[in-house]
């Protein structure tokens, strides 16, 4: 599948993570015995460059990307990116397909019925997770991405002199990394992969080595930042530095600790809720 397809056997793969707070780049060389890290870098972004899934300061973002690429390896052209947020949805469902029926047509039709977006405004992709030959039932993972949002990032990269060769989804990219690291190991039971981003936290559940589901939590890194701004009166930049332990500002350390603990409790509650959803889905399956 296009969104989730495995990396090609090329000499190198470059991953570019375009976040709200920073841009990260990793270049991996392909070897017979695995991967070798050749280059890595990070470039922080000013506040407000990206809000939600929308690029607000396009020129600043292009400049930041080109600067980071030139610092790491100016020869980089092809990159792999992933997306998340409200413009991306995923769903998992089961249905029966007779041997003489076109499975792809049926999956895409079902996907159109399930998507909350207009079918003409999205790019659909899917992966068959499991087939039951006895019942002719298949388990399908569906992904839908808003064309407008996805195209805005693709156009941005081309204007930065880059070529996106793979567009993935954050939760599935993390799942692929986990699968590669655990390849050959016995995978029984359930593993939760927690990705704490700027705006969202993703909790991805992997059951018996196979992707199960993902829950998005609205409490993430920026919630810690905003909590400190409200509780001890720091600016956005001061709060970020304080979280990193690099601040030179004077503030009430007791209130700082209370703010961090409050934000951590909110995040923990969101993760607990994600686990509750997972347990409920297991009971209904």
Check which CATH number belongs to the domain holding 137 and give it.
Answer: 3.30.1490.300
Residue range of the domain that includes 95: 89-144
5 domain residue, yes or no = no
Residues 6+ apart with CB under 8 A from 141: 4, 90, 91, 92, 126, 127, 128, 129, 211
199 domain residue, yes or no = yes
CA-to-CA dists, residue 101 to 97, 104, 105, 106, angstroms: 6, 9, 9, 8
Answer left, alpha or beta for residue 207, where phi above 0 means left and psi between -120 and 50 means alpha.
Answer: beta
Residue 193 sits in the same domain as residue 122:
no
Instruction: For 225, list phi and psi in degrees, rounded to 5.
Output: -60, -50
pLDDT for 163-187, tens place per residue?
999 999 888 889 888 988 887 777 7
270 domain residue, yes or no = yes
19 domain residue, yes or no = no
266 domain residue, yes or no = yes
Residue 135 sits in the same domain as residue 195:
no
58 domain residue, yes or no = no
Residue 116 sits in the same domain as residue 189:
no
201 domain residue, yes or no = yes
Confirm if 122 and 143 have CB atoms less than 8 A apart: no
Confidence of residue 3 (pLDDT cuts 50, 70, 90): very low
Residue 194 sits in the same domain as residue 259:
yes
The candidate with the shortest Cα–Cα distance to 125, out of 115, 134, 135, is: 115
Confidence of residue 61 (pLDDT cuts 50, 70, 90): very high
- Determine the Cα–Cα distance for residues 170 and 163; give it in Å rounded to an integer: 19
- Determine the Cα–Cα distance for residues 158 and 152; give it in Å rounded to an integer: 10
Number of independent structural domains in the chain: 2
Residue 125 sits in the same domain as residue 198:
no
- How do 12-18 and 210-217 pair as beta strands? unpaired
Residue 19 has pLDDT above 50, yes or no: yes
194 domain residue, yes or no = yes
pLDDT for 95-140, tens place per residue?
888 777 788 888 888 777 777 777 788 888 888 888 888 888 888 8
């Amino acid at each position: 599948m296009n969104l989730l397809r495995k990396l090609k056997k090329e000499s190198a793969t470059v991953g570019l993570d375009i976040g709200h707070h920073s841009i990260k780049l990793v270049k991996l060389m392909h070897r017979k015995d695995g991967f070798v890290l050749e280059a890595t870098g990070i470039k922080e972004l000013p506040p407000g460059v990206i809000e939600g899934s929308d690029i607000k300061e396009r020129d600043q973002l292009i400049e930041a990307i080109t600067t980071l690429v030139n610092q790491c390896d100016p020869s980089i052209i092809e990159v792999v990116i992933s997306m998340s947020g409200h413009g991306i949805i995923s769903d998992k469902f089961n249905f029966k397909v007779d041997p003489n029926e076109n499975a792809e047509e049926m999956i895409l039709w079902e996907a159109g019925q399930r998507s909350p977006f207009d079918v003409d405004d999205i790019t659909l992709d899917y992966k068959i997770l499991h087939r039951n030959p006895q019942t002719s039932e298949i388990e399908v993972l569906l992904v839908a991405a808003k064309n407008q949002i996805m195209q805005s990032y693709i156009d941005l990269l081309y204007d930065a002199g880059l070529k996106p060769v793979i567009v993935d989804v954050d939760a599935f990219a993390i799942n692929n990394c986990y699968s590669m690291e655990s390849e050959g190991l016995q995978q029984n039971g359930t593993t939760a992969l927690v990705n704490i981003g700027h705006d969202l936290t993703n909790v991805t559940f992997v059951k018996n080595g196979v992707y199960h589901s993902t829950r998005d939590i609205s409490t993430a890194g920026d919630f810690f930042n905003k909590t400190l701004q409200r509780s001890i009166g720091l600016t956005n930049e001061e709060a970020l530095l304080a979280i990193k332990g690099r601040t030179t500002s004077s503030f009430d350390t007791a209130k700082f600790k209370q703010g961090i603990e409050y934000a951590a409790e909110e995040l923990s509650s969101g993760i607990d809720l994600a686990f509750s959803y997972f347990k409920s889905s297991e009971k209904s399956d």
